[in-house]
A and B are shown apart, each in its own frame.
Chain A
Amino acid sequence: MSFNALKKGMNARVTRVSSDSGEMHRLLEMGLTEGTTFRVVKVAPFGDPVEIDLRGYRLCLRKNETKGLEVEPVE
């Protein structure tokens, strides 16, 4: 499923990072590599960006900048 479909409080795992260049490369470098699990902490009041908890820190991502990121929910 796409990153945008995640809801607040969900845990998810990165299943695929579709593009290895440009914008997506930086997301990888921030730690969103394949297999990484993270938690959706909060969505900003106006609907964007989304705060996630990964690798022990908090990162906010804009929904339209995560298009190459595929995730699956985990328990």
Chain B
Amino acid sequence: MKSNLSNKPSAKSELHSDQPLIALVGNPNAGKTTLFNSLTGSYQKVGNYPGVTVEKVSGALRLDAQTVECIDVPGLYSMYAVSEDERVAVEVIEGTLANSRRPDLLVCVLDATNLERNLYFFSQLAEARNPMVVALTMVDRLQQSGQSIDLPKMSNLLAVEVVPMVGHRDKGLQELKDAIERNLASPRFPVFDIGFPDALETCVASLRERVARVGIDFTKSDIRKALLDPEDPFNTFLKDFPEMQDAFREARERLTREGVIKPALEVSSRYQWASMVKRAVVRESTTASRNLSLTDRIDLVLTHRVFGLVVFLTVMYLVFQSIYTFAQPLMNGILASFGWLKDMVGPHLAQWPVVRSLVVDGVLGGVGGMLVFLPQILILFMFIAMLEGTGYLSRAAFLMDRLFGWCGLNGRAFIPLLSSFACAIPGIMAARVMPDRNSRLATILVAPLMSCSARLPVYLLLIGAFIQPRYGPIWAGFALFAMHLLGLVVAIPIVWFLNRKVIRGKRLPFLLELPPYQWPRWRDVWIAMYFRAKIFVKTAGTIIVFMSVLIWGLSYFPRLSTQQRAGVVQHYLGSNPGAPKDDVAKEVDRAQLANSILGRFGKAIEPAFVPAGFDWRITTSILSAFPARETVVPSLGIIFSLGGDVDEKSPDLPKALNEATWPDGRPLFTPWTAVGLMVFFALCAQCMATLATVKRETNSWKWPLFMFTYMTVLAYIAAVAVQQIGRWFGG
């Protein structure tokens, strides 16, 4: 392969399917991702495994003589997969996943400070029969605690190369690359004896032979698993071979009778082996202090029942303020530059009004409306990467788990749900702090119920127009607070329901590790921010821009004919003689929107929304707010003939809303209608950026469609309920 040194090649251009494939595997928290970032740097690409929500992260690893593809396999505690995520990870290792190839080499990341559990996984991994190299991380930390490790002995016992890594300064990285290169040329397989009882192993060997005779090639570990666990999927597979099934059952019964098979035999044997290896290779120095470690001393404060919660609330307040307030200038900057761009481009296209509107309102509006989410995404992922990198995220989950656990979420749901009060887009993306698919999905599905900042203009407009003038500032403040609380309150029973009825899949116990504190690695933070932003723009962003253009088309076509326009002007001037030219133009805009496909659709669904007190003008405004929630205000402006440049603070719009009537002269808005509209907006999924992000994060259109449906139904029912209760009170 030719490499072009003057141009920085991208990961994609460097990867070919004929390159050797290596996979980075290991326990969660073993330092796998940090190592992956060190190995591949920015030569990474992030996608999805087909059909599942698991993210595929791979990159180009440049060795001295060649470039190889490197996959970062999601962290695993066990090859005995329970959840969907684990199944995918195991299949990547075994090379059995659709469209994947078997890795030529596994780089197994073992945490030197947590050897027993890491070796437990290693012992299972060894049976997958892949060539292997061990990268031993956290060696520096082990030494700090007064211990040392005998590397040649370890390498001997595991029968593979063991390369010590000191993460912070990439020490050991070159040695690891050399080892990878060596092992690709002459692979080494881990060979060692776990020490299962002889009687069991003899039985496994003879069963394996019998199974092989009917033409099924399974590994010893598959056979052993099936023998030890009658529930193992392999046994279901054997249903087609009754004589095999009988052989397994007889062997199982005999070994149990003889006391060879005991509960948890496999796990116990592996752990006995792991602690034997640990005792053999780790030397406790005599100076090891029995004092509290630094992590324990920090945790005395950070997980304290009072101070811990105070620190937690402070940290979360900072995170929230950053995405809610500090991101604002950046977002305004993006919107302003797109406004400037529109002003620059618009006049050049003045001769072709359709093209002008398409480019300015459709494309530029869509791209700007998509890029405006970037500051929040970048800031939130900077915090998440830092909180994760230091180990604080686990502490936050430890503190909060009780509050979230009972309804089927877990402590980690706090970050995505809190972020969603600023914006559901970064919130939904943040749900990946939850390793467990079911909790992640449940969190994603309720995140948009949290009242985001894009709903605020609607609340302020309607409260300002209907609540404050009649009931005073106290009720106005209460209404605003209630609207923010509503989504949270509604989310609780919904999560409870989703977890029981909608989201299927095996549930694992909530296992949370509290790793020692450490400084975050800036490269990890930077890479997390960069790739989150890139993924959003590339995948969700494409959908958002496409849908913006679509909604633009629906609200632009069909155009009024010259005759129709003249009719509108004449009619308007007839009832408003001498109206200024500007007002006439706004009336034409209104008539145009009313005539568009969107306006017609709004009218068509009006009967369905009459029970909620909405007329076609409200339904059309809601429909046209699909690209972004806050655009409902300018849409209301257009449809009430005030032009599209009104905002929630302009005095004309509340006045127009107050004066609006049904055809029979009844006022369109009662305070109850206003509350109903706010409730509808609080609960509905009128935000295509959210839906596009859900599509990207769940890797399926099923979940965004489900989300849209359930939220719209919920919003509709709630709005109708408010209106009907209001009517009952004589509102």
Contacts and interface: CB of A to CB of B under 8 A. Distances in A.
A75 B299 CA distance: 24
Nearest to A58: B514
Contacts, number: 112
Nearest to B124: A29
Contact of B511 (A20, A30, A46): A30
20 contacts: A21-B231, A23-B508, A26-B78, A33-B264, A34-B264, A34-B268, A42-B299, A44-B398, A44-B401, A45-B304, A46-B399, A47-B402, A48-B401, A51-B303, A57-B117, A57-B513, A57-B515, A58-B515, A59-B511, A60-B512
Nearest to A57: B114
B77 A30 contact: yes
Interface in A29-52: 29-31, 33-34, 36, 42, 44-49, 51
Nearest to A17: B264
Nearest to B312: A45
B320 interface: no
B280 interface: no
A20 B261 CA distance: 12
A69 to B, nearest CB: 11
A23 B509 CA distance: 6
A62 B513 contact: no
For the complex of A and B, 7 pairs with smallest distance between CB atoms: A46-B402, A45-B305, A65-B509, A60-B512, A58-B514, A55-B116, A28-B267
Chain A CB within 10 A, most for which of B306, B398, B403: B398
A15 B264 CA distance: 12
Contacts of A23: 507-509
A44 B399 contact: yes
B143 to A, nearest CB: 15
Interface string B33-73: 00000000000000000000000000000000000000000
Interface string B400-428: 01110100000000000000000000000
A55 B77 CA distance: 15
Nearest to A47: B402
B401 A49 contact: yes
Given A21-B231, A26-B82, A28-B267, A51 B510 contact: no
A21 B229 contact: yes
A20 B264 contact: yes
A57 B514 CA distance: 8
Contacts of A36: 271
A22 B232 CA distance: 11
Contact of B402 (A33, A48, A58): A48
A61 interface: yes
Contact of B113 (A46, A49, A56): A56
B78 A46 contact: no
Nearest to B516: A58
A56 B264 contact: no
Contacts of A49: 398, 401-402, 405, 510, 512
Contacts of B229: 20-21
Nearest to B299: A42
Nearest to B510: A62
A28 B80 CA distance: 12
Contacts of A44: 303, 398-399, 401-402
B278 to A, nearest CB: 8
A21 B264 CA distance: 9
Interface in B244-282: 263-264, 267-268, 271, 275
Interface of B: 77-78, 80, 82, 113-117, 120, 229, 231, 263-264, 267-268, 271, 275, 299, 303-306, 308-309, 398-399, 401-403, 405, 506-515
Interface of A: 17, 20-23, 25-31, 33-34, 36, 42, 44-49, 51, 55-62, 65
Contacts of B308: 45
Contacts of A47: 402
Contacts of B115: 56
Contacts of B403: 46
B85 to A, nearest CB: 13
A49 B656 CA distance: 55
A3 B507 CA distance: 21
B256 to A, nearest CB: 12
Contacts of B305: 45
Contacts of A62: 401, 405, 509-510
Contacts of B303: 42, 44-45, 51
Contacts of B512: 49, 59-60
Nearest to B269: A33
Given A56-B113, A57-B513, A58-B513, A26 B398 contact: no
Contacts of A17: 263-264
A71 B322 CA distance: 46
Contact of B267 (A33, A48, A51, A60): A33
Contacts of A59: 511-514
Contacts of B398: 44, 49, 51, 60
B399 A45 contact: yes
Contact of B509 (A26, A46, A55): A26
Given A20-B229, A31-B120, A58-B515, 20 more contacts: A26-B77, A26-B509, A27-B509, A29-B80, A30-B77, A33-B264, A44-B303, A44-B399, A45-B305, A46-B399, A47-B402, A48-B401, A56-B116, A57-B515, A58-B513, A58-B514, A59-B511, A60-B513, A61-B511, A62-B405
Nearest to B82: A26
Nearest to A16: B263
Contact of B117 (A31, A34, A45, A61): A31
A59 B405 CA distance: 17
Contacts of A30: 77, 117, 511
Nearest to B77: A29
B283 to A, nearest CB: 14
A57 B511 CA distance: 13
A48 B303 CA distance: 12
A48 B80 contact: no
A10 to B, nearest CB: 17
B399 to A, nearest CB: 6
